[in-house]
Amino acid sequence: MTWTQIYIPLGGLGLSALVAAIPIIVLFYLLAFRRWGGHKAGGVAAVLSFLLAVTVWQMPVQMAVSATVMGVLVGLFPIIWIVITAIWLYNMSVESGDFDIIKSSLATLTDDRRIQALFIAFAFSSFLEGTAGFGTPVAIAAAMLTGLGFKPLYAAGICLIANSAPVAFGAIGIPVIMASKVTGLDTMTLSQIVGRQLPLISLIVPFWIALTMSGIRGTLQVLPALLVAGISFGGTQFILANYHGPYLPDIAASIVTIVSLIALLKVWKPRETWYFPDEIGKEKVVHASFPLIEVLRAWAPFLVLAVVVLLWGLAPVKSVLNSIFFTTFEWPALHNLVVKTTPIVNSDTLYGAVYKLNLVSAAGTAILLAGLLSVPLLNNYSFGKAAVCLVRTGKQLVYPIMTVMCVLALAYIMNYSGMSSTLGLAFAGTGKLFPFFAPVLGWLGVFLTGSCTSSNAFFGSLQATTATQIGVSPELMVAANATGGVAGKMISPQSLAVATSATGLMGREGDIFRFTIMHSLGMLLLICILVWLQTNVLSWMMPW
């Protein structure tokens, strides 16, 4: 027996949207002001959303329970699977002593913390976002920065801010491809529009990182590096997105940026090497010199990771891997039993609930394989030690695992009950101002789900329908959903859980949330203004 979603359960859209926002408001409050751990704040928000779904949105209890359980399992696989394997790979590098060699090799390029952040948090993590996405970049990059000596809070916060640049083209362009599938709009056109929005953000992200770390004076000291990083990344991203498609902008941009920064450092160095204030007096460290073969061996796990993850993301390889083991489950008491209706969709549509179990082709499995291939390359390491390290890593991540499960439960309840749609309709009701608020929908979607792909899948149709009704380009509004989503990534509880697990700050998601929230809102405001201008003043930027 089916159940039809109700979008205005309290008689008025404003009041209904306000009540729908209660779990999100409570989650914000507990993280930002009470500084609760993510597992506690997420648990409270999930319980609230469940109660509201059943009592106000009149979702059958059995369906609400089913949506909750599905969200929990999606949190475990594929999300937690990625986090555990990524942190495991890093932990092995530390245990073997090879990470000390990595630190030394980076120091031969630069001791400057700002430029190290450009290499790791901005460029290298963008490569991982372009190939794998779904938490891998922050997990690896934040762990590496912490190992280099960054304060854990800054390592986590800087990586979350930097990860905004590649998100819309992450995982071989899946967010844009998903937006095209759910709306029927041309993939290349969407890629071109996102490619005329996101590169502008990518251009300023290096400056944003430097300002956050060292202020205006410190930023000006490394202006050449910031210009090289921003122009290399943003320019490459623009060219690939507009003339090739959504598949390679991040991968190519990150490689070009790393090569460009290395070339720059051959002819330029900052006059003053910048360290965190608590490092002053300790910075005069003589770094051990290692033979090139030792340096390459120490970096090998991460080089292997890059290659394996890149291969895993290629469509022909993924097709073969899926043929080995790939199964789907039509989720009981939920699949095609919920009916989405107007104005969210043009006509009544059954809401599918299919759980995908792709054990072999999952990004976490690619990282696991990279770790196994790396064991013989690690210094004085063995598969027995690797197994013990994997178990210990799982125990280390108990609280982040709980956080992700709670947050995904919250997202699935809100989506299947119609609460998220109620919030979306409230933004759509802004009429001619909708182009300004369209990115906010993408931001909200990524905050709830931790995924730009999921946000586009959920709000893409609503963006296109509303755009048609108010007489603006549906392609522009759908692209705005993807671009706005990049600002939500840095405050998503799922991302916070990954960052805390990578930096040893388990239970301190609230501290990282306070670190990133104003950056997220500031970036969102810039995107909102840009999209609104592109509907009129800057319409010449569009590919038509």
Helix ranges (DSSP H) in 327-382 = 363-374
| Residues 501/394, Cβ–Cβ less than 8 Å | no
Torsion-angle region of 356 (φ positive above 0: left; ψ -120 to 50: alpha; else: beta): beta
- Token reading at 327: 């199964």
Q: Is the residue at 279 inside a domain?
A: no
Residue 288's pLDDT is what?
59
Percent of the chain with pLDDT over 70: 96
Q: Which domain holds residue 350?
A: 3-274+288-541
Torsion-angle region of 110 (φ positive above 0: left; ψ -120 to 50: alpha; else: beta): beta
pLDDT class for 458, splitting at 50, 70, 90? low
Helix/strand/coil for 328? strand
Residue 135's pLDDT is what?
67
Q: Taking residues 406-418, what's their average pLDDT?
A: 86
- Token reading at 221: 């000291």
Mean per-residue pLDDT of the chain: 87
Residue-wise pLDDT tens digits, 71-119: 899 888 877 887 788 789 888 988 998 888 877 776 678 889 999 999 9
Query: Is the preceding omega at residue 474 within 30 degrees of 0, hence cis?
Result: no
Q: Taking residues 384-396, what's their average pLDDT?
A: 92
Residue-wise pLDDT tens digits, 316-347: 988 999 999 889 989 999 999 999 998 878 78
Number of structural domains in the chain = 1
Residue-wise pLDDT tens digits, 246-257: 877 888 898 899
What burial class does residue 147 get, using C-beta atoms within 10 Å of its C-beta: 0-12 exposed, 13-18 middle, 19+ buried? buried
- Nearest CA to 297 out of 463, 100, 109 is that of 100
Q: Is the residue at 489 inside a domain?
A: yes
Sequence letter at residue 431? G
7-to-10, 35, 325, 416 alpha-carbon distances in Å: 9, 32, 39, 11
Helix (H) or strand (E) holding 303: helix 292-313
Residue 286's pLDDT is what?
46
Residue 295's pLDDT is what?
86
What burial class does residue 349 get, using C-beta atoms within 10 Å of its C-beta: 0-12 exposed, 13-18 middle, 19+ buried? middle
What burial class does residue 239 get, using C-beta atoms within 10 Å of its C-beta: 0-12 exposed, 13-18 middle, 19+ buried? middle
Q: Is the residue at 283 inside a domain?
A: no
Helix (H) or strand (E) holding 17: helix 13-20
The yes-or-no verdict on residue 309 having pLDDT over 80 is: no
pLDDT class for 282, splitting at 50, 70, 90? low
Q: Is the residue at 280 inside a domain?
A: no
Q: Is the residue at 397 inside a domain?
A: yes
Residue-wise pLDDT tens digits, 9-48: 998 999 999 999 999 889 888 887 887 877 888 899 999 9
Q: Is the residue at 44 inside a domain?
A: yes
Please give the Cα distance from 313 to 297 (Å, whole number). Answer: 25
The residue behind tokens 């709980």 is 402
Please give the Cα distance from 229 to 232 (Å, whole number). Answer: 5
Q: Is the residue at 140 inside a domain?
A: yes
Residue-wise pLDDT tens digits, 121-148: 999 888 878 866 666 788 888 888 888 8
Q: Taking residues 521-533, what's their average pLDDT?
A: 95
Beta strands at 354-357 and 327-330: parallel, antiparallel or unpaired: antiparallel
Sign of CA dihedral 447, 451, 456, 457: negative
